[in-house]
Amino acid sequence: CQSDYQPPVDLLAGKVILVTGASAGIGRAAAMAYARHGATVVLLGRSLSRLETVYDAIEAAKAPQPAIFPLNLESATAQDFGVVAAKLEQAFGRLDGLLHNASMLGERKSVAASDLEVWARVMQVNFTASLGLTQALLPLLEASTNASVVFTSSSVGRRGRAEWGAYSTSKFATEGLMQILADEYRDLTLRFNSINPGGTRTAMRRAAYPQEDPQRVPTPESIMPTYLWLMGRDSRGTTGEAFDAQPPRQ
Ligand code: NDP
């Protein structure tokens, strides 16, 4: 099982990997893990100062120097995604990996009580931004050899649940996009998969389950084996699949 994967230290040496929502939670842990395994990571997120903190932590770990790209995915347009692609083209000429991780929770309300504008914002950040960024970056991903694109799903992206409306539908849409892209690239020039991290100790989890004792929830660092496996050479040939980063709870 991928959650037991033991990555070689040089797994991602020489790779260029972009992580969205790299400033906090699971995205920060993934950026650190990819950098520690040799990748040059491009840290994309909303807050420059929080991204700089992650940048400093990667430098302190003596990992390859990262790059920073502040961008608010809520307001980002196709033009902004084009700028990301142009800057990466100029700096690296290719992209070997892309982790779509940034998301917002939105409102925990019934469909009947949901605000349509809030629902649309959640779809924009969690789904449409991933679509736009992927579209813009496809040529750079194709310039790599067998690049890996990883989408972040959720258990409610695979089975609907009351009062998870916008977030849940954004994750269903994400799973659909992953499958469509995998089918469009079934020649395996690029691969597309999704990860459901499972309950993980972050600010989003605290917002969704305020009554829960965070100490009982696994840390972002503990779920990194699946994130590393899907980015690296040991998952070559795998595409169109939905993974869980944690084994099912007993
Ligand atoms: P956090 O809320 O801790 O972190 C979210 C990250 O996304 C932050 O870096 C945040 O940036 C960034 N982000 C949010 N909105 C925007 C925006 N408009 N523009 C740019 N960046 C933005 O979440 P988690 O680490 O918990 O979640 C990571 C992923 O895992 C998400 O896709 C989530 O849906 C999924 N997930 C998490 C679970 C959990 O239990 N934690 C369970 C199932 C799925 P900033 O620092 O600026 O806010």
Extract the runs of DSSP E, i.e. beta strands, from the chain: 16-20, 40-45, 67-70, 97-100, 147-152, 190-196, 242-244
User: Using one digit for the tens of pLDDT, what is the confidence trace for 65-98?
Assistant: 999 999 999 999 999 999 999 999 999 999 999 9
Query: Does 46 contact ligand 1 (Cβ within 6 A)?
Result: yes
Query: Does 157 contact ligand 1 (Cβ within 6 A)?
Result: no
Please state, rounded to an integer, the average pLDDT across all residues of the chain.
97
Question: How far are the Cα atoms of 30, 131, 198, 229, 248 from residue 51, in angstroms, in the given order?
Answer: 13, 22, 24, 24, 32
Residue 2 corresponds to which tokens in the numbers above?
Answer: 């991928």
Q: What is the pLDDT of residue 131?
A: 98
For the CA of 105, the nearest atom of ligand 1: 34
What's the CATH fold of domain 2-244? Rossmann fold (3.40.50)
Q: What is the pLDDT of residue 250?
A: 60
5 is known as an active-site residue: no
pTM score over 0.95: yes
Q: Which residues of the chain have pLDDT under 50?
A: none
Q: What is the pLDDT of residue 249?
A: 73
Q: What is the pLDDT of residue 248?
A: 80
Q: What is the pLDDT of residue 209?
A: 96
